[in-house]
Amino acid sequence: MGIKSNLANKIELKPQHLQEVKPVKTTSYSDIDLNSWKDYPQIETGTWWEFATRAKGNGHSFDYHGNYIPQLAEQLFTRFTKENDIILDMFLGSGTSAIEALNMGRRCVGVELNPNVVKMVEDKFSPKDLVTGVRIINGDSASDEIKDKIDDTLELMRAKKAQFLVLHPPYDDIIKFSETKEDLSNCSSTDEFVELFGKVAQTGYDALEKGRFAALIIGDKYADSQLIPLGFMCMAKMQEAGFITKSIIVKNIEGNEKAKGKTANLWRYRALAGGFYIFKHEYVILFQKKK
């Protein structure tokens, strides 16, 4: 008994700096320490995401109708990127991806068609940020020329490929973002929209590092008294490009729409009269490029 007690005491009195410390355990695509996985309660791992309202501050503002909420960027970048990784956003819009990338110690390459929007987003960053952390390409994400522009921009950032891909296209013609004919919101038909989106998906696939992830943020639409499943149509184009589908996340949109309260009763009447249900969700569909 005496010997055992002495041994126990020696173990208990072992200096703290000599106690075993578990090494950090991460995946190849994230900085999350899997040995301390309980320390990340804020990270979603289920397929239903609910956010009461749009996050503001830290550079984010609701100055552009149709942009996705910053909480999505935070969730996705935490799960699927490492510090200094490059996020490629093929529909940059008001710059949510770029702002959150810098907030989290990542970098961003964004493609935006509208030169006025490009100028608005550039004004949100310092000249230094626009050299070291954020590069914005003014161009058509569905064009053949954009591929070389993305490659050249990645080279300027001393990278061959991006490490995460964001695709948040217009939801067909629901919101018109410009008068430019190349704008996907101005397509003459849903078939044309899906076909052009397929080109964007292929460009994104080619620019993404093998084994890394992509997120498609998309909703469906109603037209001609029927549901048009844009989400699944675009998912099919991602699969044609070569991606494997990992998850379909359903996210609420209540509380994130602009001025929806003024027309809520009208939409309820239309739903009852037309035999349909009002959209209260959109999709975050997660993909991975094969290793």
Residue 265 domain flag: no
The answer to whether residue 52 sits within a structural domain is: no
12 occurs within a structural domain: no
Structure tokens at 165: 């891909």
**Is residue 41 assigned to a domain?**
no
Which range, of 12-16, 38-42, 163-167, averages the lowest pLDDT?
Answer: 12-16
Residue 143 structural domain: 67-252+282-288
Q: How far apart (Å, rounded) are the C-alpha atoms in residues 26 and 33?
A: 5
Evaluate whether residue 273 is within a structural domain: no
Q: Is 160 a member of any domain?
A: yes
Q: pLDDT tens digits for 192-208?
A: 999 999 999 999 999 99
b/e code 2-39 from CB counts within 10 Å (16+ = b): eeeeeeeeeeeeeeeeeeeeeeeeeeebbebeeeeeee
pLDDT-derived band at 149 (thresholds 50, 70, 90) equals very high
Can you tell me the mean pLDDT for 133-160?
Answer: 97
Residue 108 domain flag: yes
The answer to whether residue 173 is domain-embedded is: yes
Mean pLDDT of the chain: 89
- In terms of Cβ atoms closer than 10 Å to its own Cβ (0-12, 13-18, 19+), residue 250 is middle
Query: What percentage of the chain exceeds 90 in pLDDT?
Result: 74
Tokens standing for residue 98: 């770029």
Domain of 230, CATH number, reads: 3.40.50.150
For the chain, the domain total comes to 1
How many CB atoms lie under 10 A from the CB of residue 242? 14
- Give, as one character, the DSSP assignment of residue 177: -
